Structure 1
């Protein structure tokens, strides 16, 4: 682990290494929900870095907590962060996940849909309304 608590999986997510992420998540005993000192998991970091391929790789393992909040200032979930930052492809991937909390809120009480509306991400709003 790095000094900031980053695991090899988190580091691979930061750099956008889809193949490395797939390899690491396939190893028995690897906890995809481990977080660094900021409370960021590999999934959260992949969303923050806009690495859709890494997000897809992590989600393909189906044993990830898709609703976990970071401990950063806004306490986003992966879904609220993706909606806020206009990542329609990642929002779609997350919405397809079993157990996704579509009503999850950040620290300001905003849902993913509210954030998409606030930020003017029409494509995401349309996705929500389908």
Structure 2
């Protein structure tokens, strides 16, 4: 099922940016290093100086990339939602004349300056 960008953005806002980024980084690290995590748990990994340095570099690089991608995803969803909101606002029908007295209205006006009644779109 596909959701529209505005609904998706509402869900992302409920989660919060910090929580979303943190959970995305943790999930990517777990997926990327699942083999190493299993080796550490079962005691099959040997720790040499070079291997620890390389794993540390991999972990730092993976964390930075996960952070960048999660921020990019967050901003992309936000931009899509803002675009949808702008389209919805621009597609609102404009009222040209007052329903009650027939006076011509200015663009974007919802209250008639002639009779003072509020107009519903």
TM-score, normalising length: structure 2: 0.23
- The structure with the largest alpha-carbon Rg is 2
Where relative contact order (Cα < 8 A, 6+ residues apart) is larger, the structure is: 2
Identify, as 1 or 2, the structure richer in helix. Answer: 2
TM-score, normalising length: structure 1: 0.22
